[in-house]
Amino acid sequence: MGVRSILLLTLLPLMPAAEPPGNLTWPDVAAAMARSTQQQRDSISVMSQSLGLQRQSVRTQLREAVDQTANPADLFTIPWPKAAIPVTPVTADCDPLPDPVVDSLVEEHARRESLSPNLLREVMRRESGFRNCAVSRAGAMGLMQLMPATARQFGVRNVFDPKQNVAAGARFLKALVDRYEGDIALALSAYNAGPTRVDEAGGVPAIPETQDYISAIMNAMSAH
């Protein structure tokens, strides 16, 4: 008995006894199933290519967001977004840090950077509401709402770690206070809208959000 005969005898019990419905033959059904399978494979291939392109786009955007400065040693070479940074977090799915934790962070890093504790506290309050998971529409993250390039510049490994975030934010705020020779309004303007905006305006830029930001922090500081 030939191999073909053996195969036919082996498969025969597995084949249904009845004929396919209508005028179709079993070879017709098999061919239709094969075409359907191939179409599914083609669809999966297209979806895979689309997902690959989306992943590549996300990776490119992340690299562009992080690699904004060629010289990390220079605080003020970071190109800042032209639009003012929104101060209200889009996502903050965590509770505010307990008061003792906030007090400890403020005391440590205000002392280290020779900043007013009230200034550091009110910036943190305005930026994140003391929520270390806060992320803004512009991509600023954490308690002090650090932009990716700023976090990278100050060596922040985990931007959502309270201590690392506040340490970097306090250093950046101190650098701005020194840059504007102790003018807190200008330093706050630069923290919110970027040094480029302040320098181009020659003072507090005419951005309502930035002006509200300064007013809210200065009023809160004076109430202490």
- pLDDT of 5 over the 80 cut: no
Alpha helices for the chain (secondary structure H): 3-11, 26-66, 99-113, 117-128, 148-153, 162-179, 184-193, 195-201, 208-222
Domain presence at residue 163: yes
Structure tokens at 80: 């800042």
- Residue 45: pLDDT band (50, 70, 90) is low
Domain presence at residue 202: yes
- pLDDT of 31 over the 70 cut: no
- Residue 165: pLDDT band (50, 70, 90) is very high
The predicted model gives 85-107 an average pLDDT of 80
Domain presence at residue 28: no
Domain presence at residue 18: no
Domain presence at residue 130: yes
Q: What is the mean pLDDT of the chain?
A: 78
**pLDDT tens for each residue of 113-164:** 999 999 999 999 999 999 999 999 989 999 999 999 999 999 999 999 999 9
What residues have CB less than 8 Å from 179, skipping those under 6 apart? 75, 76, 187, 190, 195
Query: In the prediction, which pLDDT does 66 show?
Result: 41
Q: How far is CA 152 from CA 41, 128, 143, 173, 196, in A?
A: 43, 19, 16, 16, 19
Domain presence at residue 77: no
Q: Which residues are catalytic?
A: 127
Domain presence at residue 191: yes
Give the chain's domain count. Answer: 1
- pLDDT of 7 over the 50 cut: no
Domain presence at residue 57: no
Query: In the prediction, which pLDDT does 57 show?
Result: 42
Give the CATH number for residue 173: 1.10.530.10
Instruction: Name which of 63-77, 176-190, 202-216 the model is least confident about.
Output: 63-77
Q: Which domain holds residue 188?
A: 83-222
Query: In the prediction, which pLDDT does 142 show?
Result: 97
- pLDDT of 220 over the 50 cut: yes
The predicted model gives 101-121 an average pLDDT of 98
